[in-house]
Amino acid sequence: MAPALNGGRTRSPAQSSPSQGFSLSPEQAAFVQSGVSVVAASRDASLTPMLARAIACRVSPDRRRVTLFLRSGSSRDLLRNLEENGALAAVFSQPSTHRTLQLKGGEAALAPPRPADFKAMARQVDALVAELVSVGLAEVWVRTFLAFTPQEVVAVSFVPRAAYVQTPGPGAGAPLPAPPCA
Protein backbone atom coordinates (compact mmCIF):
# COMPACT_ATOMS: atom_id res chain seq x y z
CA MET A 1 0.00 0.00 0.00
CA ALA A 2 1.25 3.48 -0.82
CA PRO A 3 2.09 5.79 2.05
CA ALA A 4 -0.58 8.22 3.12
CA LEU A 5 0.05 11.63 1.64
CA ASN A 6 -0.15 13.30 5.03
CA GLY A 7 1.73 10.70 7.03
CA GLY A 8 -1.46 8.80 7.83
CA ARG A 9 -3.00 11.61 9.85
CA THR A 10 -6.65 12.38 9.43
CA ARG A 11 -7.20 15.95 10.56
CA SER A 12 -10.92 16.49 10.18
CA PRO A 13 -12.75 15.89 13.48
CA ALA A 14 -15.88 14.84 11.57
CA GLN A 15 -14.11 11.78 10.18
CA SER A 16 -14.44 8.46 11.94
CA SER A 17 -11.47 6.37 12.99
CA PRO A 18 -10.16 3.49 10.85
CA SER A 19 -11.32 1.07 13.54
CA GLN A 20 -14.94 1.87 12.71
CA GLY A 21 -14.49 -0.06 9.47
CA PHE A 22 -16.80 1.83 7.11
CA SER A 23 -17.32 -0.07 3.87
CA LEU A 24 -19.47 0.61 0.84
CA SER A 25 -22.39 -1.70 0.19
CA PRO A 26 -21.98 -4.05 -2.79
CA GLU A 27 -24.56 -1.95 -4.67
CA GLN A 28 -22.74 1.31 -3.91
CA ALA A 29 -19.41 -0.22 -5.00
CA ALA A 30 -20.96 -1.37 -8.28
CA PHE A 31 -22.52 2.05 -8.89
CA VAL A 32 -19.32 4.06 -8.40
CA GLN A 33 -17.45 1.70 -10.76
CA SER A 34 -20.19 1.61 -13.41
CA GLY A 35 -18.95 4.44 -15.62
CA VAL A 36 -20.52 7.44 -13.92
CA SER A 37 -19.19 10.99 -13.85
CA VAL A 38 -16.67 11.33 -11.00
CA VAL A 39 -15.45 14.60 -9.52
CA ALA A 40 -12.93 14.74 -6.67
CA ALA A 41 -12.64 17.63 -4.23
CA SER A 42 -10.10 18.74 -1.67
CA ARG A 43 -9.53 21.92 0.31
CA ASP A 44 -6.55 23.89 1.44
CA ALA A 45 -5.76 25.28 4.89
CA SER A 46 -7.98 28.32 4.29
CA LEU A 47 -10.86 25.99 3.26
CA THR A 48 -10.66 27.00 -0.41
CA PRO A 49 -12.02 24.08 -2.44
CA MET A 50 -10.28 22.49 -5.42
CA LEU A 51 -11.99 20.16 -7.87
CA ALA A 52 -10.66 17.70 -10.43
CA ARG A 53 -12.48 15.35 -12.78
CA ALA A 54 -11.56 11.73 -12.20
CA ILE A 55 -11.24 9.31 -15.09
CA ALA A 56 -12.64 6.32 -13.22
CA CYS A 57 -12.36 4.55 -9.88
CA ARG A 58 -11.61 1.22 -8.24
CA VAL A 59 -13.09 -0.10 -5.00
CA SER A 60 -11.01 -2.49 -2.89
CA PRO A 61 -12.32 -6.05 -2.47
CA ASP A 62 -13.33 -5.31 1.15
CA ARG A 63 -15.02 -2.06 -0.08
CA ARG A 64 -13.18 0.01 2.57
CA ARG A 65 -10.90 1.95 0.20
CA VAL A 66 -11.76 3.80 -3.00
CA THR A 67 -9.14 4.67 -5.60
CA LEU A 68 -9.70 7.54 -8.02
CA PHE A 69 -7.73 7.83 -11.24
CA LEU A 70 -6.80 11.43 -11.99
CA ARG A 71 -4.85 13.29 -14.64
CA SER A 72 -1.77 14.50 -12.76
CA GLY A 73 -1.44 17.77 -14.68
CA SER A 74 -4.98 19.00 -14.11
CA SER A 75 -5.02 17.74 -10.52
CA ARG A 76 -1.86 19.42 -9.19
CA ASP A 77 -3.62 21.70 -6.69
CA LEU A 78 -5.89 18.92 -5.46
CA LEU A 79 -2.88 16.64 -4.95
CA ARG A 80 -1.03 19.39 -3.06
CA ASN A 81 -4.05 19.80 -0.75
CA LEU A 82 -4.07 16.05 -0.10
CA GLU A 83 -0.41 16.23 0.95
CA GLU A 84 -1.37 18.91 3.47
CA ASN A 85 -4.48 17.37 5.03
CA GLY A 86 -5.45 14.02 3.45
CA ALA A 87 -9.15 14.97 3.25
CA LEU A 88 -10.97 14.05 0.04
CA ALA A 89 -14.56 14.04 -1.17
CA ALA A 90 -15.84 12.53 -4.38
CA VAL A 91 -19.18 12.66 -6.14
CA PHE A 92 -20.36 9.94 -8.49
CA SER A 93 -23.24 10.94 -10.74
CA GLN A 94 -25.16 9.13 -13.48
CA PRO A 95 -26.01 11.79 -16.09
CA SER A 96 -29.18 10.15 -17.47
CA THR A 97 -30.87 9.93 -14.05
CA HIS A 98 -28.91 12.46 -11.95
CA ARG A 99 -28.50 9.74 -9.31
CA THR A 100 -25.57 10.96 -7.24
CA LEU A 101 -23.58 9.51 -4.35
CA GLN A 102 -21.03 11.55 -2.38
CA LEU A 103 -18.22 9.99 -0.37
CA LYS A 104 -16.13 11.91 2.16
CA GLY A 105 -13.00 10.53 3.72
CA GLY A 106 -9.34 10.76 4.41
CA GLU A 107 -6.06 8.87 4.61
CA ALA A 108 -5.34 9.71 0.99
CA ALA A 109 -2.50 7.73 -0.58
CA LEU A 110 -0.87 8.30 -3.94
CA ALA A 111 0.38 5.49 -6.18
CA PRO A 112 0.84 4.67 -9.84
CA PRO A 113 -2.09 2.81 -11.38
CA ARG A 114 -1.84 -0.97 -11.73
CA PRO A 115 -1.69 -2.43 -15.26
CA ALA A 116 -5.21 -3.90 -14.86
CA ASP A 117 -6.57 -0.48 -13.92
CA PHE A 118 -6.27 0.75 -17.51
CA LYS A 119 -8.83 -1.83 -18.70
CA ALA A 120 -11.22 -0.71 -15.97
CA MET A 121 -10.63 2.94 -16.90
CA ALA A 122 -11.39 2.21 -20.57
CA ARG A 123 -14.56 0.31 -19.63
CA GLN A 124 -15.77 3.08 -17.32
CA VAL A 125 -14.97 5.81 -19.86
CA ASP A 126 -16.87 3.87 -22.56
CA ALA A 127 -19.87 3.56 -20.23
CA LEU A 128 -19.77 7.29 -19.43
CA VAL A 129 -19.50 8.11 -23.14
CA ALA A 130 -22.65 6.04 -23.78
CA GLU A 131 -24.42 7.84 -20.89
CA LEU A 132 -23.52 11.29 -22.18
CA VAL A 133 -24.36 10.44 -25.79
CA SER A 134 -27.76 9.18 -24.56
CA VAL A 135 -28.54 12.65 -23.20
CA GLY A 136 -27.60 14.38 -26.45
CA LEU A 137 -23.88 15.13 -26.39
CA ALA A 138 -21.76 14.38 -29.45
CA GLU A 139 -19.59 11.29 -29.04
CA VAL A 140 -16.50 12.91 -30.57
CA TRP A 141 -16.74 15.80 -28.08
CA VAL A 142 -17.26 13.48 -25.11
CA ARG A 143 -14.34 11.22 -26.07
CA THR A 144 -12.10 14.27 -26.47
CA PHE A 145 -13.20 15.65 -23.09
CA LEU A 146 -12.58 12.31 -21.33
CA ALA A 147 -9.33 11.41 -23.14
CA PHE A 148 -6.22 10.58 -21.13
CA THR A 149 -2.80 9.07 -21.66
CA PRO A 150 -1.47 6.33 -19.36
CA GLN A 151 1.60 8.42 -18.51
CA GLU A 152 -0.48 11.19 -16.94
CA VAL A 153 -2.65 9.00 -14.71
CA VAL A 154 -2.14 8.93 -10.97
CA ALA A 155 -4.10 6.77 -8.53
CA VAL A 156 -5.32 8.38 -5.30
CA SER A 157 -6.93 6.06 -2.82
CA PHE A 158 -8.80 7.12 0.28
CA VAL A 159 -10.83 5.65 3.10
CA PRO A 160 -14.50 6.67 2.96
CA ARG A 161 -15.83 7.84 6.33
CA ALA A 162 -19.30 8.94 5.23
CA ALA A 163 -21.64 8.62 2.27
CA TYR A 164 -24.49 10.92 1.27
CA VAL A 165 -27.36 10.85 -1.20
CA GLN A 166 -26.87 13.84 -3.50
CA THR A 167 -29.51 12.98 -6.09
CA PRO A 168 -31.60 16.13 -6.59
CA GLY A 169 -34.85 16.02 -4.65
CA PRO A 170 -36.15 15.89 -1.10
CA GLY A 171 -33.54 13.35 0.07
CA ALA A 172 -30.51 15.27 -1.19
CA GLY A 173 -27.85 15.58 1.47
CA ALA A 174 -29.15 12.71 3.56
CA PRO A 175 -26.41 10.58 5.08
CA LEU A 176 -26.34 6.92 4.11
CA PRO A 177 -25.71 4.48 6.94
CA ALA A 178 -22.60 2.38 6.62
CA PRO A 179 -23.48 -1.24 5.88
CA PRO A 180 -22.34 -3.80 8.43
CA CYS A 181 -18.70 -4.80 7.89
CA ALA A 182 -18.05 -8.39 7.00
Burial class (CB in 10 A: 0-12, 13-18, 19+), 1: exposed
pTM: 0.86
| Domains annotated on the chain, with CATH | 21-166 (2.30.110.10)
Residue 180 has a pLDDT of 60
Angle at 112 between CA 68 and CA 129, to 5 degrees: 45
- Taking only the tens place, the pLDDT of each residue in 159-172 is 999 999 888 888 88
- Taking only the tens place, the pLDDT of each residue in 2-28 is 444 444 333 332 334 444 557 899 999
Asked whether the beta carbons of 122 and 113 are under 8 A apart, the reply is no
Q: What does the pLDDT profile of the chain (182 residues) look like in tens digits?
A: 444 444 433 333 233 444 455 789 999 999 999 999 999 999 999 999 999 999 999 999 999 999 999 999 999 999 999 999 999 999 999 999 999 999 999 999 999 999 999 999 999 999 999 999 999 999 999 999 999 999 999 999 999 999 998 888 888 888 887 666 55
